[in-house]
Amino acid sequence: MCSPRGGIGYGERALKLILSYEPVYGPWLDYCCLPDLDGDGVQEAVIFYLSGFDFRMEIWKFQDGEFQSIELEDLTARY
């Protein structure tokens, strides 16, 4: 599967790192995790994207009528 940002896709190594986040964000749905992190009844989208330069996790929330990035973590060093 290709990453949402059009990167090179998820290999076995990347998938292993993604799956390590399941205890925090819930099940990996082959494209993202959809936890309700703040308990407001609206799920956030936890998206991982891999490019030729970096590997990042970004959390998006629908608020104020649009999707907004609420957290970004660089996973490159762990990858």
Model pTM above 0.75:
yes
Q: Is the pLDDT of residue 62 over 60?
A: yes
- Mean pLDDT in residue range 3-14: 63
At 22, is the secondary structure helix, strand, or coil? helix
**pLDDT at residue number 31:** 87
* In the block, residue with structure tokens 């399941």: 22
Which has more pLDDT, 35 or 52? Answer: 35
Q: How far is CA 3 from CA 24, 26, 42, 75, in A?
A: 20, 19, 23, 14
pLDDT for res 12: 87
Cβ–Cβ under 8 Å, residues 62 and 69: no
